[in-house]
Structure 1
Amino acid sequence: MPPSASKLRPVKLGEKAANYLRKEIVEGRFKAGESLPSETEMMAMFGISRPTLREAIRILEAMGLVVIQRGKNGGAAVRHPAVTITAANAAIYLQTKQATLLELQRARSMIEPELVRGLEGRITPEQFGELRAILAQARAAMHDVGAYVGRTTAFHRVLVGLMENRVLDLIVSMIHTIYEPMVAAATATNMAVGKTAFQLDVASQEHLLDLMEAGDFAAASDFCRSNLARIARFMEESGVGRAIIGAPETDA
């Protein structure tokens, strides 16, 4: 049952209503794409005013749990939160701590080699084909920084998704959602240098797939570790790694 307004302090009504609706959404009682009840129904459900209800909906919108649809048949529609929203919140926190791109790169170095090792026996020939197709798209998009970043981010999301570990999926996807646009921005000022870096990155990922497809996941893990260490050294020596982490754009 929704919380009764009589039991809540007035200043907390919107927050309490939002918490109740959040619980209903995350526990699956409202599915992605479904609309929440009408404002009139929810006002009666919670015993609150329209402005207080709209405050609750704004809280849910900020969480990425609803999107507001305008027009005659508009209202609050449920959606699953995008990783970009989580990444943006994490990036804001890291920005307040003055965390750097080099720190993010070193975090990758601790996680991703073990991820590669853990993929042994998990990738089918069809999935190798999907990963190679994404890299081919990235290679073709090197003239367009945004498109290139989209493809390389997709590559890492597919790769980590094969682990079937939702916590790891979130952490690695979040890191790359922050990391890829920052690297692209750092190279965008000199596209000749940027394209060379992109070519090296794609070639490295293709070699990684070669090793994994040959069944040598230990060598693939070692290559991943050495490649990430090479990138970290470049960031440190060039000064690129001193850049403070910034928030990525969120999905609309």
Structure 2
Amino acid sequence: MSSTTGAGGLFPGGAWTTRAPKTSERVARELVNHIIGHDLAEGAKLPNEKQLVEVFDVGRTTLREALRLLETRGVITIRSGPGGGPVVRRPRPDDLREGLTLILQFAGASLTDVLEARATLEPRIASLAATRLTSNRIEELARSVETMRDSCEDHDVFLDENRRFHTTIAEASGSSGLWVFNETLKSIADGAVVGVEYTPRRRLAVAEAHHKIVEALRSRDPRSAEAAMRAHVEEAGAFWGRHYPELSARGVRWVQ
């Protein structure tokens, strides 16, 4: 069997090698640790380029490479002009969208695959939220349902409330990992983005499904909440399959 040499490959003898981090990557990681360790709020200014070069004892090229890396990861923004420089930006779940979309595209995944992943995650999220949602959050969800019902002729209101409903439950689950991945999956298979149209009748049906979820959450019964959410997301997938079969089977694309 032949051996591959080089970074990340196998040297003769079978030892796996790991590439040592570049100096710019080390600087980027230390800046992240600084931001988190000091609990810097979004919008907080970091030291300017001259100060950072001195702190890390690196050249300007290395520092700028580190800052560009952090900017692509959504950790900072670079403001130009007088008084500009690196400013803290908290990464968001949607920042994962492009990377995960590319992985799924190369894996040959379809939008149905993404919907199936959501159908696995969201019932568990609802189960966790059933015992963790505050009463205020439950009432917030109930008001969302009423807004959906009262504005069933307004497609934009429906979309906004639908996103808010699912995001609120995911946040209330207390699981950062599930929340992040579910938000990312939602952004990849967003019906409004890929061309799904919901009739007023369908919007009312979604509002009724949301009402059942709210009642299950209000009962603080994890199993009922899980079952109500599963029925909802599975029906959503079935709706896509019935009315948009070609779209459902379409491969995930980096650029929608």
Q: TM-score range by the shorter chain?
A: 0.7 to 0.9
The verdict on how the C-alpha distance between 1:244 and 1:141 changes in structure 2, with shifts beyond 3 A counting, is farther
After superposition, the C-alpha distances for 1:45-94 in whole angstroms (9 at most, x for unaligned) are 23333333222211110011101122311110112101110233222221
Distance 2:41 2:129 in 1: 32
- Runs of at least 5 residues in structure 1 that lack an aligned partner in the other structure: 1-10
The reply to whether residue 100 of structure 1 matches residue 107 of structure 2 is no
The reply to whether residue 244 of structure 1 matches residue 255 of structure 2 is no
Alignment of 1:41-56 (within 5 A): 41-56=51-66
Alignment of 1:75-224 (within 5 A): 75-138=85-148, 140=151, 143-145=154-156, 148-179=158-189, 181=190, 183-188=191-196, 191=197, 193-214=198-219, 217-224=222-229
Distance 2:194 2:40 in 1: 42
1:148 CA displacement: 4.0
The verdict on how the C-alpha distance between 1:92 and 1:137 changes in structure 2, with shifts beyond 3 A counting, is farther
What is the percent sequence identity of the aligned residues? 21
The verdict on how the C-alpha distance between 1:42 and 1:197 changes in structure 2, with shifts beyond 3 A counting, is same
Contact 2:42-2:88 at 8 Å conserved across structures: yes
The verdict on how the C-alpha distance between 1:27 and 1:124 changes in structure 2, with shifts beyond 3 A counting, is closer
Write 1 or 2 for the structure with the bigger share of helix. 1
TM-score calculated relative to the size of structure 1: 0.78
3-state SS, counterpart of residue 119 of structure 1: helix
Larger relative contact order, structure 1 or 2 (CA cutoff 8 Å, min sep 6): 1
TM-score calculated relative to the size of structure 2: 0.76
The verdict on how the C-alpha distance between 1:55 and 1:144 changes in structure 2, with shifts beyond 3 A counting, is farther
Counterpart residue number, 2:80: 70
After superposition, the C-alpha distances for 1:100-124 in whole angstroms (9 at most, x for unaligned) are 1111111122222233233333333
Distance 2:103 2:51 in 1: 37
- Runs of at least 5 residues in structure 2 that lack an aligned partner in the other structure: 1-20
